[in-house]
Amino acid sequence: MKSQTRASLLRLVAFLASSLATLAANRPNIVVIFTDDHAQHAISAYGSKINRTPHIDQLAAEGLRFNQSFVGNAICGPSRATLLTGLHSHANGQTGNRSPFRDELPSFAKTLQANGYDTAMIGKWHITTKPNGFDHWAIKTGGYYNSSFRTKDGVEKSEGYVTDVITQRSLDWIKGRPSPENPFMVWISHSAVHRIWAPALRHLDRYTDVEIPEPVTLFDTYSGKAPGAATAQMTIARDLFPAYDLMLPVTGQGILDNAAQQMLNTFTPSQRQQWDAAFVPRNEAFAKMNLQGEALTRWNYQRYMKNYLRCVDGLDESVGTVRAFLKANNLDENTIVIYTSDQGFFLGEHGWYDKRWMYEESLRTPLIIHWPGVTKGESTSEALVQNIDLAPTFLEMAGVQPQGTMHGKSLVPLLRGEPTPQWRDSIYYHYQMIEPESRTSHLVARHYGVRTEHHKLIYFYDFNRWELYDLVSDPHEVLNQIDNPHYAGIIDLLKAELKRLRSQYADETGKPF
């Protein structure tokens, strides 16, 4: 009798194991291509007026493009902490690049790993604790060229351009993972397009003969904006460091000049030769022009944008490389590919580079998802979505329940094209990184706010100053309507909504109003 019971039990266990294996086999792989500082408006699928991104466009053509995709705090480390936890910054601890991440919280990576997924993170990390929830991780420790990577086994050197190296390391991990029968999730965490905008050698000659169109607010006067906008140190006119940001000759003056020299020191002789062959003649021509004033700002803009867009070209190629690899290895039909960035970026709008502000260019982030058999090609969504939504989305894709509370909502119903009448009417934002946390904080004032489909209300609490923008009549956000009586009713509604959001997300940081 006992042995019969044992045999039945064994059969049951075998049956369950095989059912689990079948389930696992059907669970989709998840490839998160996560880039840095890549603005929506530098992607042709999002209507870019300044460049073409054929591989990202192809992903959008086969998948779903979220047109209203935003972040909750437009800065690198915090955005990664939100990606992991599905929580706004105040709740996950990493409110700034150096503030302590609450590693004890559940994350999508930990939950996927606990539910049979093989998990990996390769590239830029920027969370203030060690990676947790990843079978394999490799953190980029250097710059754009010949960076080292820190892994569980120590520091590993690499040679080549960082976007290519991160891509290759990610594909090598997929190919060599020890249990190919398990579903996998890989977070390909590119460091491009972050400063120092160093392109791949093969892209150095792109855009040399073209004039990148200027944004309408390149010479913004900041009229009507709260104090802080006019004094922020992120202008194309005055705050681009010659060697670090513009690839002009190193003079030995200042911290970022030294950083530029350090990057040049990482080149191999052959790389340095190709680099100099591109930039030395251009820099000599620039010096001869002796530009001043607006002409110099325009030149700065062209130099900045061309290097930025060359870095984007590297990312776009990476998307093509990843997708070709998946196809060649018969993984494409069961692998979800997500393209997103940690936040947007100012490409000359308001006269700026960088991010941090709640204005559209940095608040928006690209989000394109291709889920074979689920997303319909050429589809778009106008739902207000945010980076808090990604973690719950990845978990539902994998068919597992989130552990604990997440602020975000799974995007899966939107991806399936199901009706979502009660989706979301507004999104919440809070930037609160304070000086001198980073030498490149650019003196941006702390602020929180609410954005709806048509309006945006921002509170700069250190100055007790409000801004209201009508995004329909004023998409460039140059007319602060806070004192316009025509908007009084809307302002009341938005203030009530902002209070509701701060209560819903239990954000008690920053000054109340």
Q: Contact positions toward Ca ion, by CB under 5 A?
A: 36-37, 76, 342
| Distances, alpha carbon 97 to alpha carbons 144, 234, 267, 356, 488, in Å | 20, 18, 28, 12, 37
Provide the 3-class DSSP secondary structure of residue 172: helix
The structure tokens listed for 200 are 């791949």
State in angstroms the smallest separation of the CB of 435 from Ca ion: 18
| Choice between 76 and 368, CB closer to Ca ion | 76
State in angstroms the smallest separation of the CB of 76 from Ca ion: 4
Q: Report DSSP state, residue 204.
A: T
- For Ca ion, which residue has the nearest CB? 76
State in angstroms the smallest separation of the CB of 355 from Ca ion: 6
| Choice between 36 and 239, CB closer to Ca ion | 36
| Choice between 43 and 174, CB closer to Ca ion | 43
State in angstroms the smallest separation of the CB of 36 from Ca ion: 4
State in angstroms the smallest separation of the CB of 311 from Ca ion: 13
- Using only C-alpha atoms, the chain has a radius of gyration, in whole angstroms, of 24
> Which strands, in side-by-side order, build the sheet including 455-460?
427-431, 447-451, 455-460, 465-470
Contacts of 377 (CB under 8 A, 6+ apart): 61, 62, 63
**Closest of 81, 95, 32, 35 to residue 343, by C-alpha:** 35
State in angstroms the smallest separation of the CB of 119 from Ca ion: 22
Q: For the chain, what percentages of helix, strand and coil (3-state, to nearest 5) are there?
A: 40, 15, 45
Determine the residue type at 380.
T
State in angstroms the smallest separation of the CB of 349 from Ca ion: 16
Q: Report DSSP state, residue 206.
A: T
Cβ pair 449, 433 in contact under 8 A: no
State in angstroms the smallest separation of the CB of 343 from Ca ion: 5
State in angstroms the smallest separation of the CB of 409 from Ca ion: 24
| Choice between 29 and 307, CB closer to Ca ion | 307
| Choice between 341 and 393, CB closer to Ca ion | 341
| Choice between 62 and 342, CB closer to Ca ion | 342
| Choice between 37 and 313, CB closer to Ca ion | 37
The structure tokens listed for 51 are 């460049």
| Choice between 58 and 128, CB closer to Ca ion | 128
Residue that is written with structure tokens 């260019």 in the block = 361
| Choice between 36 and 317, CB closer to Ca ion | 36
Contacts of 191 (CB under 8 A, 6+ apart): 36, 123, 124, 140, 144, 162, 163, 166
State in angstroms the smallest separation of the CB of 359 from Ca ion: 16
Cα angle for residues 182, 186, 187 (degrees, 5° grid): 160
Please give the Cα distance from 204 to 311 (Å, whole number).
9
The structure tokens listed for 457 are 């209300």
Q: Report DSSP state, residue 350.
A: G
| Choice between 76 and 87, CB closer to Ca ion | 76
Please give the Cα distance from 132 to 126 (Å, whole number).
13
Q: Cis peptide before 215, with omega less than 30 degrees from 0?
A: no
β-strands 184-189, 118-123 pairing: parallel
